[in-house]
Amino acid sequence: MSLPRPSPTDVHANHVSGEFSQEERSLLLRLAHDSIIFALENREISLEPPTAHLAEPRGAFTSLYLDGNLRGCVGYVLSVGPVYRAVAETARAAAFEDSRFYPVTLDEARHLQIELSILSVPRPIAAEEVEVGRHGLLITAGFRRGLLLPQVPIEHQWDRVTFLEQTCRKAGLPADAWQTGATIEAFTAEVFGEKHEF
Protein backbone atom coordinates (compact mmCIF):
# COMPACT_ATOMS: atom_id res chain seq x y z
CA MET A 1 0.00 0.00 0.00
CA SER A 2 1.48 3.33 -1.03
CA LEU A 3 1.32 6.70 0.62
CA PRO A 4 -1.12 9.35 -0.51
CA ARG A 5 0.70 11.43 -3.07
CA PRO A 6 1.61 14.97 -2.09
CA SER A 7 0.03 17.40 -4.51
CA PRO A 8 1.46 20.79 -5.47
CA THR A 9 -0.88 22.46 -2.97
CA ASP A 10 0.69 20.37 -0.18
CA VAL A 11 4.12 21.73 -0.99
CA HIS A 12 5.63 24.84 0.51
CA ALA A 13 8.99 26.49 -0.04
CA ASN A 14 11.07 29.06 1.75
CA HIS A 15 11.70 30.69 -1.62
CA VAL A 16 8.76 31.81 -3.71
CA SER A 17 10.70 31.06 -6.86
CA GLY A 18 13.59 28.70 -7.37
CA GLU A 19 15.36 26.44 -9.76
CA PHE A 20 12.87 23.60 -9.34
CA SER A 21 9.33 23.96 -10.59
CA GLN A 22 6.34 23.09 -8.44
CA GLU A 23 5.88 19.95 -10.54
CA GLU A 24 9.51 18.91 -9.99
CA ARG A 25 9.24 19.54 -6.26
CA SER A 26 6.13 17.38 -6.03
CA LEU A 27 7.84 14.69 -8.09
CA LEU A 28 10.89 14.65 -5.78
CA LEU A 29 8.73 14.55 -2.64
CA ARG A 30 6.72 11.67 -4.09
CA LEU A 31 9.98 9.87 -4.91
CA ALA A 32 11.23 10.32 -1.34
CA HIS A 33 8.01 8.85 0.09
CA ASP A 34 7.96 5.98 -2.38
CA SER A 35 11.61 5.09 -1.82
CA ILE A 36 10.88 4.57 1.89
CA ILE A 37 7.62 2.69 1.40
CA PHE A 38 9.03 0.51 -1.38
CA ALA A 39 12.03 -0.42 0.78
CA LEU A 40 9.70 -1.47 3.60
CA GLU A 41 7.61 -3.52 1.19
CA ASN A 42 10.67 -5.05 -0.53
CA ARG A 43 9.73 -3.54 -3.88
CA GLU A 44 12.07 -2.05 -6.45
CA ILE A 45 11.86 1.60 -7.45
CA SER A 46 13.16 3.13 -10.66
CA LEU A 47 15.98 5.60 -10.05
CA GLU A 48 16.17 6.75 -13.67
CA PRO A 49 15.70 10.54 -13.71
CA PRO A 50 12.55 11.42 -15.67
CA THR A 51 14.01 14.70 -17.01
CA ALA A 52 17.42 16.09 -17.92
CA HIS A 53 17.12 18.67 -15.14
CA LEU A 54 16.58 15.99 -12.49
CA ALA A 55 19.58 14.13 -13.88
CA GLU A 56 21.93 16.98 -12.96
CA PRO A 57 24.38 16.16 -10.15
CA ARG A 58 23.62 17.85 -6.82
CA GLY A 59 24.09 17.36 -3.12
CA ALA A 60 20.83 16.79 -1.28
CA PHE A 61 19.49 16.29 2.23
CA THR A 62 16.23 14.63 3.21
CA SER A 63 14.67 15.47 6.58
CA LEU A 64 11.83 13.35 7.94
CA TYR A 65 9.30 14.61 10.47
CA LEU A 66 6.71 12.71 12.48
CA ASP A 67 4.16 14.59 14.60
CA GLY A 68 6.26 17.72 14.19
CA ASN A 69 9.45 16.10 15.47
CA LEU A 70 12.57 15.24 13.52
CA ARG A 71 12.59 11.52 12.69
CA GLY A 72 15.69 11.35 10.54
CA CYS A 73 18.00 13.48 8.40
CA VAL A 74 20.71 12.30 6.05
CA GLY A 75 22.31 13.89 3.04
CA TYR A 76 25.16 14.29 0.61
CA VAL A 77 27.07 17.57 0.79
CA LEU A 78 28.68 16.98 -2.58
CA SER A 79 26.98 15.53 -5.61
CA VAL A 80 27.44 11.79 -6.05
CA GLY A 81 25.07 11.48 -8.99
CA PRO A 82 21.76 12.80 -10.32
CA VAL A 83 19.66 14.80 -7.87
CA TYR A 84 16.80 12.34 -8.52
CA ARG A 85 18.88 9.42 -7.25
CA ALA A 86 20.30 11.50 -4.38
CA VAL A 87 16.79 12.22 -3.09
CA ALA A 88 15.79 8.55 -3.21
CA GLU A 89 18.98 7.41 -1.49
CA THR A 90 18.98 10.07 1.23
CA ALA A 91 15.28 9.44 1.96
CA ARG A 92 15.98 5.75 2.56
CA ALA A 93 19.07 6.55 4.59
CA ALA A 94 17.17 9.08 6.73
CA ALA A 95 14.47 6.48 7.38
CA PHE A 96 16.71 3.52 8.16
CA GLU A 97 20.31 4.58 8.75
CA ASP A 98 20.26 7.74 10.90
CA SER A 99 21.98 6.40 14.03
CA ARG A 100 20.08 8.85 16.25
CA PHE A 101 16.80 7.05 15.62
CA TYR A 102 15.33 3.57 15.34
CA PRO A 103 14.47 2.62 11.74
CA VAL A 104 11.14 3.97 10.51
CA THR A 105 8.28 1.45 10.58
CA LEU A 106 5.69 1.00 7.84
CA ASP A 107 3.02 2.62 10.01
CA GLU A 108 5.27 5.61 10.69
CA ALA A 109 6.20 5.87 7.02
CA ARG A 110 2.56 6.49 6.13
CA HIS A 111 2.53 9.59 8.35
CA LEU A 112 5.90 11.15 7.59
CA GLN A 113 6.27 14.71 6.39
CA ILE A 114 9.32 15.25 4.22
CA GLU A 115 11.52 18.28 3.64
CA LEU A 116 14.15 18.29 0.89
CA SER A 117 17.20 20.53 0.63
CA ILE A 118 18.89 20.60 -2.77
CA LEU A 119 22.37 22.06 -2.38
CA SER A 120 24.60 24.23 -4.50
CA VAL A 121 28.31 23.43 -4.70
CA PRO A 122 30.10 24.56 -1.47
CA ARG A 123 32.53 27.45 -2.02
CA PRO A 124 35.06 29.11 0.32
CA ILE A 125 33.70 32.17 2.12
CA ALA A 126 34.99 34.70 4.64
CA ALA A 127 33.29 34.48 8.04
CA GLU A 128 31.99 38.05 7.80
CA GLU A 129 30.27 37.25 4.49
CA VAL A 130 28.12 34.46 5.95
CA GLU A 131 24.43 35.38 5.76
CA VAL A 132 22.07 33.70 8.21
CA GLY A 133 19.07 32.30 6.37
CA ARG A 134 20.86 32.28 3.01
CA HIS A 135 23.95 30.16 3.54
CA GLY A 136 24.52 26.69 4.84
CA LEU A 137 27.97 26.10 6.33
CA LEU A 138 30.64 23.46 5.94
CA ILE A 139 33.60 23.84 8.32
CA THR A 140 36.62 21.58 8.00
CA ALA A 141 39.83 21.13 9.99
CA GLY A 142 41.98 18.09 9.33
CA PHE A 143 39.73 15.03 9.18
CA ARG A 144 36.88 16.76 11.01
CA ARG A 145 34.00 18.25 9.08
CA GLY A 146 30.70 19.75 10.23
CA LEU A 147 27.73 20.87 8.17
CA LEU A 148 24.57 22.76 9.04
CA LEU A 149 21.80 23.56 6.54
CA PRO A 150 20.65 27.17 5.96
CA GLN A 151 17.38 26.64 7.81
CA VAL A 152 19.06 25.51 11.06
CA PRO A 153 20.11 28.95 12.40
CA ILE A 154 16.68 30.32 11.56
CA GLU A 155 14.96 27.53 13.52
CA HIS A 156 17.22 28.16 16.53
CA GLN A 157 17.33 31.97 16.18
CA TRP A 158 21.12 32.02 15.98
CA ASP A 159 23.17 35.00 14.87
CA ARG A 160 26.10 34.63 12.47
CA VAL A 161 28.74 33.98 15.15
CA THR A 162 26.60 31.36 16.91
CA PHE A 163 25.98 29.68 13.54
CA LEU A 164 29.74 29.47 12.92
CA GLU A 165 30.36 28.18 16.45
CA GLN A 166 27.64 25.54 16.23
CA THR A 167 28.95 24.30 12.88
CA CYS A 168 32.39 23.90 14.50
CA ARG A 169 30.81 21.93 17.35
CA LYS A 170 29.02 19.74 14.80
CA ALA A 171 32.47 18.89 13.44
CA GLY A 172 33.74 18.01 16.91
CA LEU A 173 35.95 21.09 16.87
CA PRO A 174 36.35 23.87 19.45
CA ALA A 175 33.67 26.55 19.00
CA ASP A 176 36.26 29.10 17.91
CA ALA A 177 37.89 26.87 15.27
CA TRP A 178 36.42 29.10 12.55
CA GLN A 179 38.75 31.84 13.88
CA THR A 180 41.83 29.63 14.22
CA GLY A 181 42.43 28.13 10.81
CA ALA A 182 39.45 25.91 9.99
CA THR A 183 38.23 26.13 6.40
CA ILE A 184 34.82 27.78 6.02
CA GLU A 185 32.70 26.98 3.00
CA ALA A 186 29.16 28.10 2.26
CA PHE A 187 26.40 26.75 0.06
CA THR A 188 22.83 27.65 -0.66
CA ALA A 189 19.91 25.26 -0.61
CA GLU A 190 16.54 25.22 -2.26
CA VAL A 191 14.39 23.94 0.57
CA PHE A 192 10.85 22.67 0.09
CA GLY A 193 8.54 20.17 1.69
CA GLU A 194 5.13 19.31 2.97
CA LYS A 195 3.23 21.56 5.31
CA HIS A 196 3.44 20.70 8.97
CA GLU A 197 -0.04 21.09 10.37
CA PHE A 198 -0.34 19.66 13.87
pLDDT in tens, 33-83: 999 999 999 999 999 999 999 999 999 999 999 998 999 999 988 888 899
Q: What is the pLDDT of residue 116?
A: 95
* Closest by Cα among 145, 13, 7, 118 to 62: 118
Q: Please report, rounded to a whole number, the percentage of residues in the chain having pLDDT higher than 70.
A: 89
With contact defined as beta carbons under 8 Å apart, do 100 and 126 qualify? Answer: no
pTM: predicted TM-score of the whole model, two decimal places: 0.74
Q: Across residues 153-174, what is the average pLDDT?
A: 96
pLDDT at position 195, please?
59
The arithmetic mean of pLDDT across residues 148-172, rounded, is 95
Q: How confident is the model at residue 120 (pLDDT cuts 50, 70, 90)?
A: confident
SS3 156: helix
Q: For the residues 160-184, what does the mean pLDDT come to?
A: 97
The answer to whether residue 3 scores a pLDDT higher than 90 is: no
CA distances from residue 94 to 18, 22, 39, 70 in whole angstroms, order as listed: 24, 23, 12, 10
pLDDT at 167 over 90: yes
